[in-house]
Chain A
Amino acid sequence: MYRKLTSIFILCISALVGCHHDTGAGPVPNASQIKASFNPSASPGNIRLALESAQGDIVSLDVIADSAPQFTGMAFKISYDNTIAQFIGCDPGQILETSATPLYAAAIINGIEGHIAVGASLKRGDTMVSGTGTILKLRFKVIARGNTALTFYENVLRDNTFSELSGLTWSTGTITGT
């Protein structure tokens, strides 16, 4: 190990992005000139992404349960092109707020832009929810012109026995910077 005189600069990258918090993404040159938008998939699923708002280079997306059966929690990961968009935070939705203190979490996986892990859940003993409503909101900052598809993976809706609810469809969409 003493052969090399150089040393690797340790990059301290925060992995955590809890709901109600921002990642603290730094300023991006000419970011104010970029206009962000979101186009949802043509075939909406039982769990779908929809545009809540687009202000300048920021888009806020609702993660919506649409005619969903009774469930307790949701978990998924999303991949995206980190040269187009950066994840900057999440906010609670409404459908889980029937519980006094539902849990929400979203974070950039290993602190590397391009993949996020997301979870939301009622607690033990809470009555499951069903139907249509926003589970949580995801906010992205568009940093370049172009498109990036948002892709779900390891996505699951679970009941209060931790069983996976089958037969559900998930749909996403595309973030665009112009």
Chain B
Amino acid sequence: MNTFWKIPINRLKKWVPLLALFLWMAPVLMGATPINPYNGVSISVANDSGTRFDYGGNDVYYVNFKSATQGLNAIHIAAQSSDMVGVDFTTSGTSGTFYITDSGGKGYDDEIILLVSINANSLPTDFSLSLQASGYQVTVDSTYVVTQSNYATMEEQFGPEDFIYGPQTWKPAGAQDYPLWIGEDISVAANSCLLMFVDLYVGIDSQTSGLTDNGQVRVDYQFENLPAMAAFNAYGYRILTNGDIEWTNRTSGTGSSGWRVTPVSNLPADVYDDYQPPRHSVDGDDLIWMALHYGTTPADPDWDSRCDIVANAVIDDADVNAMLASFGATY
């Protein structure tokens, strides 16, 4: 029997302040929190099924780099599965494919965990990221020789609520303040990101020849309503190293690799971005650049279509106002 309807309205009223307090506190209780500390820390994954390996019985992976400089040579992010060096790649395309490769001496990883970071303090409710991963689930003996290797795939869609870490400007590593992407100034608060770890449910077999994608991990991604720059990083996990994560792609110095997605179409006001490396922000230089093109039309020799944000074939106040609406934004 449903007794709810027998409760007098006057009795419900006393719960209104409590409900209001809960709603007010909800963002605090449910928001993301920075990872702490930067090493020797357990991280949760966003997968519906949790972690594939559960070494400690608590559905987390333990990040345990041996020193500040170790664990940065083996894992790479690459455009080709045969690339054992990796690339520093930036694209405006919100869907694409990259590979996670392992050139380390052991020649395998039991599992690859993907770190997705987005340069924002909040994500729109209609944001989503679809990930498909393929690779190999391996079995090794006590001498690190792969004895069995099975091709496997994973597919899952993630939403804003899955980004439970951050805002922060660095990723877990053996060294403190290790950048999320190549060239990042981790001291700049505007580079803060929300973070999500995804267990790809596959690993790498670099020992066996003739495997699909050379035994490496392939990742296909598709963002919807990505509000700002996203950076991908990868982590390697092995059972024989006490079941912990000890490897990630280098993002500082020689041998660095990384993959970034910058939704340029979402931010047309960045009309001047010829810096190397690109600055990826709407700032004072964009204002000057637009001012120096003010009043021009496509017939002028110094016409720059980037300044024609509203696409009315003249650089005018409408374009200036469109820029001001995004001034201070980064991506």
From the candidates B292, B320, B325, B327, name the one contacting A160 in the complex (CB within 8 A).
Answer: B292
In angstroms, Cα B123 to Cα A79, docked, is 25
Contact A13 B121 (CB under 8 A): yes
Decide: A18 and B324 in contact? CB cutoff 8 A.
yes
Given A1-B48, A16-B328, A112-B192: A9 and B27 within 8 A (CB)? yes
Q: Nearest residue in B to A164 (C-beta to C-beta)?
A: B285
On whether the beta carbons of B291 and A75 are closer than 8 Å, the reply is no
B170 CB, min distance to chain A CBs, angstroms: 16
Q: Indicate whether A107 sits within 8 Å of B328 (C-beta atoms), given known contacts A11-B27, A77-B283, A124-B294.
A: yes
Q: How far is the CA of A13 from the CA of B190 in the complex (A)?
A: 13
Q: Which residue of B lies closest to A77 (CB)?
A: B283
Q: Is A117's CB under 8 angstroms from B162's CB?
A: no
Q: Does B160 contact A (CB under 8 A)?
A: yes
Q: How far is the CA of A72 from the CA of B289 in the complex (A)?
A: 10
Q: Known: A18-B324, A109-B190. Contact between A103 and B287, CB under 8 A?
A: yes
Contact A117-B325, Cβ < 8 Å, known A2-B48, A6-B161, A10-B125: no
Verify B328–A8 contact, CB threshold 8 A. Answer: no
In Å, the complex CA distance between A20 and B46 comes to 44
13 contacts between A and B (CB under 8 A): A4-B162, A6-B30, A9-B26, A16-B325, A72-B291, A103-B287, A105-B323, A106-B327, A107-B327, A115-B189, A119-B287, A123-B291, A124-B295
Additional A-B contact list (7), CB under 8 Å, known A1-B162, A105-B324:
A1-B128, A7-B160, A9-B122, A73-B288, A75-B283, A109-B190, A109-B281
Q: Which are the 3 A-B pairs with shortest beta-carbon distances?
A: A75-B284, A119-B284, A107-B328
